[in-house]
Structure 1
Amino acid sequence: MIIVGLTGGIGSGKTTVAKQFNALGIPVYIADDEAKKLMIRSKIIKRKLIQLFGEQAYINGALNRPFLAKKIFNNASNLEKMNAIVHPKVASHFKRWVNKQKAPYVLKESAILFENNSYINCDYIITVTAPKELRIERLLKRDETSLEKIQAIMNNQWNDDRKTEKSDFVIVNTNLEDTIRQVQLTHNKIVNFIQ
């Protein structure tokens, strides 16, 4: 199975792009969503996160996201330790998911595809970009967040130049109509490559 990685900085519009690929019949694995589910379902992850951050990591069996966010976003060491617990489980879950798919290729959407080195398991990489100001504007509308929190997340991610350098395709997501056109063109190229 051909694996296409889909990445981009926070607020770039990866989800919008993923939905367009999905509309073309391409199965999409949203790594961040699956990681959150595994952090609740997996007893091993739960035990290790409690060992790392203490009992406050979970409240009544539910992941204490605000607590964890405070622990990791301004602490690269804690972020690295948490990723070392969660990412291997996500990787094995993804492999099982891939084996069940019947499309010409699958999409693995991950904001930190490069940062966690999972790009090495992809046949092609698509990076979604948008101007920083637009990304911040989108995030302030979408999330109950602050400029400071957005900046902290952006600081933990590679910049667009670094990502696009290592990518096979770049989709500039500033206008939905144009984004849909770019997705269709990219899809056609990938299908042509694998035939």
Structure 2
Amino acid sequence: MPYNKMMILGLTGGIGSGKTTVARFFEALGVAVYYADDRAKRLMVQDQDLVASIKSLLGQEAYTTDGRLNRAFIASKVFADAELLQQLNQLVHPAVGRDFSKWAQEQEGSYVLKEAAILFENGSYKQADKNILVTAPLETRLERVMKRDGATREAVLARMEHQWPDEQKIPLADFVIENIDLEETRKQVNSLHKQLISFKK
């Protein structure tokens, strides 16, 4: 197994499921967590090869004059064109994969987590030894995101359409954490952590 026999675990969940909350619980137990979506945003600005590729795909307007991502412009382009979104993902995901490999080699412990929103959709779950899916009822997820982002129900549902439903992801997951009550979720994380550190690969 790569990275000095350290287990690689994917951690994902649909919008509003609370996958980041679950990731923080693992961090509190001393587990290193790689936040793929945050790292991707950083790489899209700092990785010069990736920047050049994105400008080639979307045009110079993809970046502001001071080098920051022009998020509004990018969103207006890719969310109206599924093929263009796929092409952008095909540029970003390999860069994230390389960054994760380098990061993982620097970590210590029995296992590390790679937290990503579309782990199953983009196929990167296949690169993990095990995968954890965080779930919650649809109405709970909707309420969380509407409250968090000040978004309308329709807007949240539209964003959810870009992700697979839980029914499609559950068969691919090795572990499922149902995140409704925070204390119950914490207990599930603690129990799974004990199980993971006991594995002998």
TM-score range, shorter chain: over 0.9
User: Is 1:107 paired with 2:113?
Assistant: yes
1:88 aligns with 2:94: yes
Gap regions ≥5 residues in structure 2: 1-5
The one of 54, 66, 76 equivalent to 1:70 is 76
Residue 167 (structure 1) aligned to one of 167, 173, 190: 173
Structure 1 residues 81-100: Cα deviation after superposition (integer angstroms, max 9, x where no partner): 01011110000000000000
Q: Percent identical across equivalent pairs?
A: 49
**2:57: which partner in 1?**
52
1:139 Cα deviation from its structure 2 partner: 1.0
Give the aligned residue type for 1:84: Q
Distance in 2, Cα, partners of 1:118 & 1:112: 8
Paired residue for 2:13?
Answer: 8
* 1:36 aligns to 2:66 (yes or no): no
Question: Is residue 2:13 matched to residue 1:23?
Answer: no
CA distance in 1, matches of 2:143, 2:70: 26
Residue identity matched to 1:48: S
Q: Residue by residue, what CA displacement relative to the aligned partner does 1:136-164 show, whole Å, maximum 9, x if unpaired?
A: 11111212434344223211111101111
* Residue pair 1:30, 1:110 contacting (<8 A) in 2 also: yes
Residue 79 of structure 1: which of 66, 77, 85 is its match? Answer: 85
CA deviations over 1:8-38 (Å, ceiling 9, x no partner): 1011101100000000010000000000000
Cα distance in 1 between the residues matched to 2:80 and 2:135 = 24
The residue aligned with 1:135 is 141
In structure 2, the CA distance between the partners of 1:72 and 1:150, relative to structure 1 (3 Å rule), is farther
For the residues of structure 2 that align with 1:84 and 1:17, how far apart are their CA atoms? 27
Stretch deviating more after TM superposition (73-82 or 31-40): 73-82
| Divergent runs of 4+, >4 A | none
In the alignment, is the contact (CA less than 8 A) between 1:114 and 1:163 conserved in 2?
yes
Question: Number of aligned pairs?
Answer: 195
Structure 2 match to 1:176: 182
What TM-score results when the alignment is normalised by the length of structure 2?
Answer: 0.92
Q: Distance in 1 between matches of 2:151 and 2:47?
A: 28
How many angstroms does 1:184 deviate by? 0.6
- For 1:101, the aligned partner's letter is Q
2:3 maps to none
